[in-house]
């Protein structure tokens, strides 16, 4: 097979980091080529270079053997390269058809006046053929994340892309939806298109790809045939050392009392539509309760209601036998409910403030850190220093603005602060998103330690592997309601996947 | 092609160099404007400087001009710390002048020890009351405070006009026949007239000292107290503030009230220090509130820097008034303010980002 | 006789003045709408209007041609907008501060005053002013005459502009692109749309419209040059865009509503109506109503749903990380 795309010696520097350091990559026509690497290995940067969004500092790009240089994304699209970004590039108030024709300048796109209806039929046809049908007249914000992904793929197919890059496409899908996506991918490859499949999940790469290129620390480590590789060998290539599979580690069980009881919680989401419907759950001391589900099914609202950040429209939260004042973050903090939020950079910390300030974000009111209305700045700094040493935060001292920490170290600062409050309940949302393997292991071990110490942990995550590895019980959220609960021991991915898609689980 | 990259660290010298270079650059652009309109730039700048800082008289006049700018500058700065844009300093100053004058007149000619603090408090209350309107609307109804606070400036100006020109209000002097034909405000009794302090030949208005004291207070409040901590967190990330259990709405009200109160004291200082009556024409013509935005932006929202910048810009404003006439066009000071502000804004970007000029080259060539 | 009677009735006069005073607001609001739809908030409308007003007046005094005057006003407004565009699009400076700086730079105590003074335009009678292009018999027709036919070219042209802007935004390809740029610059960029170019062009167009809006004062309403003659119209125009939910047709209605508020004090004063009430009360009407309207549209707490562009006021940087 002839090479469809070749990258040679690509280097891309950002202030303070070399994201790509002499990367070589080659994919041939008709193959599914996986780009495997940890978070931060440089996969997204590489694909943004391939699509003309970034300009490489060094190196060359060849398409079908001919060198090309993309001055803009338009030139890359015209050369047949399209990408489905991890965070979709869709215009929410537009219809599917409007999104599909956006920026198109061939055929229908040449006309000055737009008639989205004319392309609706074509969009519907493509959807049928590749089994990714969506209503072309629907507005994006009305669609689920899975459907939005289909729109992104339709955009590429409408432009007759020869090379399609999928960046972490399964993050928003149930396991069953992911399988269906893999089929679509194979159909597209069978037509001679080249699919670059970016992932950090080994089993996906094994399932869908023909060849794998592994990136580590911005460099190409190896390109191997998928058939000849095992998940284990790929993992050691990806991380650079032998890693234990993420699997359940037996933990001392507690038989604590109920620390958290949520009863009949309902809440309205930001769009004004119901986001939580009659959710009830209980959590015991020392237990990890995993909340699984596809993104956008009420996870964020559940975490916010339990921690008092969002006022529920109905229902109660009880911690240690006492009912919390609903919608009061202060009440939750006083009741020792700690919270590691999903958005660590803008919710978990005030990003421009120092680590020291952030380390007392919830405790600055306490007598320990103040003298009348004045703050004890020295004490605060010492406190931060202690936490930094205790949790091995690297990258700077107490005076460093929080935003300058790497994701993993930032998460350590948040964990340090939240554990320091002697929590009874710990609400953790997507705690390892965007972290590398070493940081993930650290976070997981902190969570296990907390549970072993008698804290009730509510683990909300879209990463099913994480839920399976850590939880004692698993509840599944679908469209704001809990559709099933299973014991983690012996739970099957298929069963949970069905629940995540709203199936009854029977 | 211009590329802008975020700086990881901000070199310390830049924080001093950039404002200086910005102001210098603004003067360069001003030179071009003057040349284009056939005015001799060097001569104009020299006149400007001499009339601002060139003699004791000029300096004393500049202190007078700087006094209100400290108040309006602090007014903008304290709100901006929490990402609130209170550009109603103008109107809040008017209201402070109204309530301050009322207190001064009402307390009669008994004791300055009574009248002056009462005028300050009354001025603060007046300014705070007006600032709380956009504050409440923002806190409880999410109404953008920029436009509401600005609209209230026009309303406050109309209130001033009404009180002196279109009614026989408490503030209007109706004692004589001339005063009935040519409306003006009642004169404050001597006890309500603020003293001055002399250092050598320099004469410092009392209001200037009050302004500097307020700057110190604001600094302590914002860098050393829980209140200041909450302001910083809310200003940086409202979501993090909610997460930390801070009561954002109350803080919006408190900060808007503080901001308005400072401008209001500036209004009382206008009555007590300089005008000795409620003077609508003089207050509305000066545009102190708008100049305060420039002061705060240039002072990078630091209270001490606000004092220094207020003095410098006050000097320019004073010189502008002194020179107004045929060879010194009106509006020149405003143009200069605007230019300085643009340059400072561009300079701000330079502090946080690094600018690279890049010429695109073929990628293949780059590998060689 | 009968026609004169009705045409002199307070309702007709107020409606006619609503259109007169609403027209500058309409132009300025349409311009601001274009800029905001591309994601650029420009609070410098007042300054751009004033510079447009003074340069437009200069144009007519210099050339005697109203057409040239309007073009000059538009160019003047656009060149003010260019400063803002450079600062906020290229340098990614804070849009609010830059807009305020533009107001101070160009506004009543800044460049417009400087130019008016320097070009010796104050207290001059205008050489030409816009009048109605329609036959006299139409202008004196019952009811419709004073309201619709005794208006200037500027009014009729503004109606065309409303239609053109509405069709442009909703039906054309560049319109689709600019809406995408304002909603989600990252999405537009990924599809090969030049975000910087679109933002520059629409900010400049916004400035040109504001300049024409300012010229409405100095060439039709006043018609002469006075320092600060827009008296806050630029700010009202900004509020108007929110009031209109970022839709051109609603801008028209809003502009005439606020035009009526602006015209009422003059009408009432001229006719000696409600003389017992201080004139300041009426004069405050447009400002107070702006606040009221802002409260009404924001109290829903869902500006997003009302149509605020998703990326309004947010600089776009492709390589920021």
Render pLDDT for A188-234 as a digit per residue (tens, 0 to 9): 999 999 999 999 888 889 999 999 999 998 999 999 999 988 888 88
Mean pLDDT score across all residues of chain A: 90
- CA C135/CA C157 separation, integer angstroms: 17
Nearest to B143 among C105, C110, C295 (CB): C295
Mean pLDDT score across all residues of chain C: 88
Please check whether residue C12 is in contact with residue C147, taking contact to mean a CB–CB distance below 8 angstroms.
yes
Contact list, B141 vs chain C (CB under 8 Å): 295, 298-299, 301
Judge whether residue A435 has pLDDT over 90.
no
* pLDDT band (50, 70, 90) for residue C99: very high
Nearest to A346 among B8, B237, B245 (CB): B237
pLDDT of residue A445: 92
Please check whether residue A185 is in contact with residue A154, taking contact to mean a CB–CB distance below 8 angstroms.
no
Which strand (E) or helix (H) includes residue A476? Answer: strand A473-478
- CA B246/CA A465 separation, integer angstroms: 35
pLDDT of residue C300: 56
β partners of residue B215: none
Sheet holding A322-323, edge to edge: A274-284, A258-268, A314-319, A322-323
Interface test with A, best of B229, B238, B254 (most A CBs within 10 A): B229
Judge whether residue B364 has pLDDT over 70.
no
* Pairwise CB contact (< 8 Å): B233 & A346: no
- CA B339/CA C52 separation, integer angstroms: 19
Please check whether residue C87 is in contact with residue C40, taking contact to mean a CB–CB distance below 8 angstroms.
no
- CA A58/CA B120 separation, integer angstroms: 65
* Pairwise CB contact (< 8 Å): B151 & C100: no
Contact list, C284 vs chain B (CB under 8 Å): 154-155, 158
Taking one residue from A and the other from B, the number of pairs with CB-CB distance under 8 angstroms is 96
β partners of residue A375: A370
* pLDDT band (50, 70, 90) for residue B356: low
Nearest to B290 among C98, C104, C301 (CB): C104
Sheet holding A481-487, edge to edge: A337-340, A425-429, A456-460, A288-292, A473-478, A481-487
pLDDT of residue C131: 82
Judge whether residue B303 has pLDDT over 90.
yes
pLDDT of residue C36: 95
The nearest alpha carbon in chain C to B141 belongs to C299
Nearest to B147 among C227, C235, C299 (CB): C235
* Pairwise CB contact (< 8 Å): C172 & A112: yes
Please check whether residue C42 is in contact with residue C84, taking contact to mean a CB–CB distance below 8 angstroms.
yes
The nearest alpha carbon in chain A to C319 belongs to A54
Render pLDDT for A399-418 as a digit per residue (tens, 0 to 9): 999 988 888 899 999 999 99
Q: How far apart are the first and last CA of chain B?
A: 22
- CA A124/CA C106 separation, integer angstroms: 53
Distance, in angstroms, between A445 CA and closest chain B CA? Answer: 25
- Percentage helix, strand, coil, to 5, in chain A? 35, 25, 35
Query: What whole-number percentage of chain A has pLDDT above 70?
Result: 97
Helix, strand or coil, per DSSP, at residue B185: strand
Range with lowest mean pLDDT among A57-66, B29-38, C291-300: C291-300
- Region A454-468: mean pLDDT is 92
The nearest alpha carbon in chain B to A330 belongs to B245
Please check whether residue A291 is in contact with residue A299, taking contact to mean a CB–CB distance below 8 angstroms.
yes
Please report all neighbours of A, defined by 3+ CB atom pairs within 8 A.
Answer: B, C
Render pLDDT for B168-203 as a digit per residue (tens, 0 to 9): 889 998 888 887 778 888 899 999 999 999 988 899
β partners of residue A213: A35, A223
- CA A356/CA C1 separation, integer angstroms: 82
Judge whether residue C274 has pLDDT over 80.
no
- Chain B residues 239-298 with a CB less than 8 Å from chain A: 239-245, 247
Buried b (16+ CB within 10 A) or exposed e, A56-83: bbbbbbbbeeeebbbebbbebbebbbbb
Asked if B110 is an interface residue toward chain C (Cβ–Cβ < 8 A), one would say no
Q: Residue C312 has which token pair? A: 């309004």
Contact list, B349 vs chain C (CB under 8 Å): 91-93
Judge whether residue C2 has pLDDT over 70.
no
Please report all neighbours of B, defined by 3+ CB atom pairs within 8 A.
Answer: A, C
Q: Exposure of A334 by Cβ count < 10 A (0-12 exposed, 13-18 middle, 19+ buried)? A: middle
Contact list, B287 vs chain C (CB under 8 Å): 109
Name the residue among A227, A108, A149, B134 with its Cα closest to residue C291.
B134
- Chain B residues 189-248 with a CB less than 8 Å from chain A: 224-227, 229, 232-233, 236-237, 239-245, 247
Render pLDDT for B228-261 as a digit per residue (tens, 0 to 9): 999 999 999 999 999 999 999 999 999 999 999 9
Number of C-beta neighbours around residue A353 at 10 A: 20
Nearest to B144 among C227, C278, C298 (CB): C298
Cβ contacts of residue C157 below 8 Å, gap of 6+?
A: none
Number of C-beta neighbours around residue A263 at 10 A: 15
Name the residue among C199, C213, C174 with its Cα closest to residue C95.
C199
DSSP for A211-274, please give it: EEEEEETTEEEEEEESTT--HHHHHHHHHSS----S-----PPP---EEEEEEEEEEE-TTSSE
Judge whether residue B362 has pLDDT over 70.
no
- Region C110-124: mean pLDDT is 86
Range with lowest mean pLDDT among A485-489, C120-124, C209-213: C120-124
Number of C-beta neighbours around residue A133 at 10 A: 16
Q: Which range has the top average pLDDT, A265-274, A372-381, B336-345?
A: A372-381
The nearest alpha carbon in chain C to A98 belongs to C176
Nearest to B2 among C90, C280, C319 (CB): C90
Q: Exposure of A346 by Cβ count < 10 A (0-12 exposed, 13-18 middle, 19+ buried)? A: middle
Please check whether residue A92 is in contact with residue C307, taking contact to mean a CB–CB distance below 8 angstroms.
no
pLDDT of residue B357: 64
Contact list, B235 vs chain C (CB under 8 Å): none
Judge whether residue C1 has pLDDT over 60.
no
Judge whether residue B126 has pLDDT over 90.
yes
pTM above 0.90, yes or no: no
Number of C-beta neighbours around residue B15 at 10 A: 12
Contact list, C317 vs chain A (CB under 8 Å): none
Residues, chain A: 506
pLDDT of residue C271: 79
* pLDDT band (50, 70, 90) for residue B365: very low
Distance, in angstroms, between C96 CA and closest chain B CA? Answer: 9
Cβ contacts of residue A490 below 8 Å, gap of 6+?
A: none
Name the residue among A403, A282, A428 with its Cα closest to residue A352.
A403
* Pairwise CB contact (< 8 Å): A58 & B6: no
- CA C308/CA B311 separation, integer angstroms: 41
How far does Cα C150 stand from its chain's mean position? 21
Range with lowest mean pLDDT among A223-227, A375-379, B218-222, C272-276: C272-276
pLDDT of residue A404: 86
- CA A61/CA A54 separation, integer angstroms: 13
Contact list, B333 vs chain C (CB under 8 Å): 109
Interface test with A, best of C164, C185, C192 (most A CBs within 10 A): C192
Nearest to C100 among B161, B293, B349 (CB): B293
Judge whether residue A61 has pLDDT over 60.
yes
- Region A265-270: mean pLDDT is 90
Nearest to A272 among C180, C183, C302 (CB): C302
* Pairwise CB contact (< 8 Å): C192 & A90: no
DSSP for C36-96, please give it: HHTT---TTHHHHHHHHHHHHHHHHHHH--HHHHHHHHHHHHHHHHHHHHIIIIIS---HH
Distance, in angstroms, between C270 CA and closest chain B CA? Answer: 17
Which residue reads 């432009």 in tokens?
Answer: A159
pLDDT of residue A248: 64
Judge whether residue B366 has pLDDT over 80.
no
How far does Cα B252 stand from its chain's mean position? 20
Contact list, A353 vs chain B (CB under 8 Å): 232-233, 236
pLDDT of residue C283: 84
Please check whether residue B332 is in contact with residue B236, taking contact to mean a CB–CB distance below 8 angstroms.
no
How far does Cα A249 stand from its chain's mean position? 23
Asked if B12 is an interface residue toward chain A (Cβ–Cβ < 8 A), one would say no
pLDDT of residue A504: 59
- CA C187/CA B147 separation, integer angstroms: 31
Mean pLDDT score across all residues of chain B: 88
Residue A216: φ, ψ to 5°: -145, 130
DSSP for B17-79, please give it: HHHHHHHHHHHHHHHHHHHHTT--HHHHHHHHHHHHHSSHHHHHHHHHHHHHHHHHHHHHHHH
Please check whether residue A471 is in contact with residue A462, taking contact to mean a CB–CB distance below 8 angstroms.
no
């Amino acid at each position: 097979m002839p090479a469809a795309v070749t990258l040679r010696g690509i280097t891309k520097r950002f202030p303070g980091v070399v994201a790509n350091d002499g990367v070589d990559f080659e994919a041939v026509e008709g193959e599914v080529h996986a780009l495997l690497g940890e978070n931060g290995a440089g996969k997204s940067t590489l694909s943004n270079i391939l699509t003309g969004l970034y300009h490489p500092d060094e190196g060359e790009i060849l398409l079908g053997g001919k060198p090309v240089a993309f001055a803009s994304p338009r030139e890359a699209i015209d050369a047949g390269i399209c990408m489905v970004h991890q965070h979709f590039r869709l215009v929410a108030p537009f219809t599917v058809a409007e999104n599909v024709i956006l920026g198109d300048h061939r055929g229908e796109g040449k006309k000055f006046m737009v008639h989205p209806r004319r392309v609706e039929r074509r969009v519907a046809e493509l959807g049928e053929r590749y089994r990714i049908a969506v209503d072309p007249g629907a507005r994006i914000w009305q669609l689920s994340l899975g459907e939005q992904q289909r729109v992104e793929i339709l955009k590429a197919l409408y432009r007759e892309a020869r090379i399609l890059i999928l960046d972490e496409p399964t993050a928003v899908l149930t396991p069953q939806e992911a399988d269906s996506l893999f089929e679509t991918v194979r159909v597209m490859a069978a037509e001679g298109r080249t699919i670059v499949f970016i992932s950090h999940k080994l089993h996906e790469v094994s399932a869908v790809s023909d060849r794998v290129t592994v990136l580590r620390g911005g460099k190409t480590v190896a390109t191997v045939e998928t058939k000849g590789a095992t998940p284990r060998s790929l993992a050691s290539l990806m991380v650079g050392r032998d890693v234990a599979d993420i699997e359940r580690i037996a933990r001392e069980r507690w038989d604590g009392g109920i620390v958290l009881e949520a009863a009949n919680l309902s809440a309205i989401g930001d769009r004004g539509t119901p986001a939580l419907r009659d959710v009830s759950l209980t959590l015991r001391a020392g237990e990890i309760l995993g909340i699984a589900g596809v993104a956008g099914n009420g996870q964020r609202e559940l975490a916010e209601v339990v921690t008092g950040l969002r006022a529920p429209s109905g229902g109660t939260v009880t911690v240690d036998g006492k009912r919390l004042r609903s919608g009061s973050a202060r009440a939750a903090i006083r009741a020792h409910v700690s919270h590691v939020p999903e958005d660590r950079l803008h919710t978990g910390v005030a990003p421009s403030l120092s680590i020291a300030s952030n380390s007392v974000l919830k405790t600055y009111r306490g007598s320990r850190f103040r003298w009348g209305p004045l703050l004890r700045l020295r004490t605060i700094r010492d406190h931060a220093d202690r936490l930094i040493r205790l949790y091995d935060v690297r990258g700077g001292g107490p005076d460093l603005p929080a935003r300058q920490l790497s994701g993993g170290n930032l998460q350590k600062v948040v964990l340090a602060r939240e554990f320091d409050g002697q929590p009874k309940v710990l609400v953790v949302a997507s705690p390892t998103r965007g972290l590398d393997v070493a940081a993930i292991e650290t976070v997981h071990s902190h969570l296990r330690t907390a549970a072993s110490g008698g804290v009730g942990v509510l683990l909300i995550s879209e990463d099913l592997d994480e839920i399976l590895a850590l939880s004692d019980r698993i509840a599944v959220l679908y469209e704001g309601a809990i559709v099933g609960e299973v014991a983690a021991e012996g739970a099957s991915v298929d069963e949970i996947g069905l629940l995540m898609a709203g199936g009854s689980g029977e | 092609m211009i590329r802008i990259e975020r700086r990881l660290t901000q070199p310390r010298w830049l924080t001093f160099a950039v404002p200086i270079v910005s102001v210098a650059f603004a003067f360069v652009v001003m030179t071009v404007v003057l040349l284009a309109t056939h005015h001799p730039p060097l001569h104009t700048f020299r006149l400007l400087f001499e009339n601002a800082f060139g003699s004791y008289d000029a300096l004393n006049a500049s202190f007078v001009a700087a006094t209100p700018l400290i108040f309006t500058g602090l007014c903008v700065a304290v709100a901006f710390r929490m990402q609130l844009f209170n550009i109603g300093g103008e109107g809040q100053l008017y209201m402070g002048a109204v309530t301050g004058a009322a207190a001064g007149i009402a307390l009669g000619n008994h004791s300055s020890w009574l009248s002056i603090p009462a005028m300050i408090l009354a001025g603060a209350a007046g300014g705070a009351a007006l600032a709380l309107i956009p504050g409440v609307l923002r806190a409880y109804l999410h109404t953008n405070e920029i436009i509401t606070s600005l609209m209230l400036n026009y309303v406050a100006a109309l209130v001033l006009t009404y009180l002196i020109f279109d009614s026989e209000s408490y503030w209007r002097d109706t004692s004589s026949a001339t005063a009935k034909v040519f409306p003006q405000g009642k004169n404050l009794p001597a006890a309500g007239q603020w003293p001055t302090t002399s250092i050598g030949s320099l004469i410092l208005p009392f209001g200037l000292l009050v302004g500097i004291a307020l700057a110190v207070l604001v600094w302590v409040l914002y860098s050393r107290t829980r209140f200041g901590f909450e302001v910083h967190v809310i200003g940086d990330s409202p979501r993090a503030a909610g997460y930390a259990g801070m009561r954002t709405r109350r803080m919006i009200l408190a900060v808007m009230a503080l901001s308005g109160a400072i401008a209001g004291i500036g209004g009382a200082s206008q009555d007590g220090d300089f005008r000795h009556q409620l003077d609508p024409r003089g207050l509305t013509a000066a545009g102190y509130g708008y100049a305060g935005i420039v002061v705060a932006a240039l002072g990078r929202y630091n209270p001490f820097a606000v004092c220094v910048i207020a003095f410098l810009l006050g000097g320019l404003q004073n010189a502008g008034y002194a020179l107004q006439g045929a060879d010194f066009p009106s509006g020149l000071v405003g143009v200069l303010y605007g230019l300085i502000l643009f340059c400072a804004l561009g300079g701000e970007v330079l502090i946080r980002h690094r600018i690279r000029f890049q010429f695109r080259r073929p990628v293949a060539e780059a590998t060689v | 006789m009968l026609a004169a009677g009705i045409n002199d009735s307070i309702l007709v006069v107020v409606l006619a003045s609503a259109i007169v005073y609403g027209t500058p607001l309409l132009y300025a609001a349409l311009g601001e709408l274009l800029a905001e739809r591309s994601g650029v908030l420009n609070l410098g409308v007042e300054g751009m209007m004033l510079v447009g007003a003074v340069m437009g007046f200069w144009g007519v005094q210099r050339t005697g041609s109203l057409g040239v005057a309007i073009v000059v006003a538009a160019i003047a407004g656009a060149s003010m907008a260019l400063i803002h565009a450079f600062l906020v699009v290229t340098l990614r400076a804070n849009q609010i501060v830059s807009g305020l700086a533009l107001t101070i730079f160009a506004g009543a105590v800044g460049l417009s005053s400087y130019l008016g003074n320097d070009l010796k335009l104050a207290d001059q009678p205008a050489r030409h002013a816009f009048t109605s292009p329609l036959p006299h018999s139409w202008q004196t027709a019952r009811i419709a005459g004073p309201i619709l036919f005794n208006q200037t070219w500027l009014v009729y042209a503004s109606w065309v502009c409303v239609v053109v802007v509405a069709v442009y935004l909703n039906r054309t390809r560049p319109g689709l692109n600019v809406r995408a740029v304002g909603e989600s610059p990252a999405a537009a960029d990924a599809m090969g749309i030049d975000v910087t170019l679109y933002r520059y062009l629409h900010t400049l167009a916004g400035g040109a419209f504001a300049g024409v809006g300012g010229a409405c004062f100095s060439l039709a309403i006043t018609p002469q040059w006075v320092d600060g003659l827009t008296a806050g119209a630029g700010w009202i125009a900004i509020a108007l865009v929110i009031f209109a939910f970022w839709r051109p047709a609603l801008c028209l209605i809003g502009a005439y509503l606020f035009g009526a508020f602006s015209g009422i004090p003059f009408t009432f004063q001229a006719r000696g109506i409600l003389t017992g009430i201080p004139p300041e009360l009426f004069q405050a009407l447009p400002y107070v109503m702006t606040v009221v309207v802002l409260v009404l549209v924001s109290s829903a707490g869902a500006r997003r749903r009302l149509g605020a562009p998703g990326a309004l006021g947010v600089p776009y940087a492709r390589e920021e990380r």
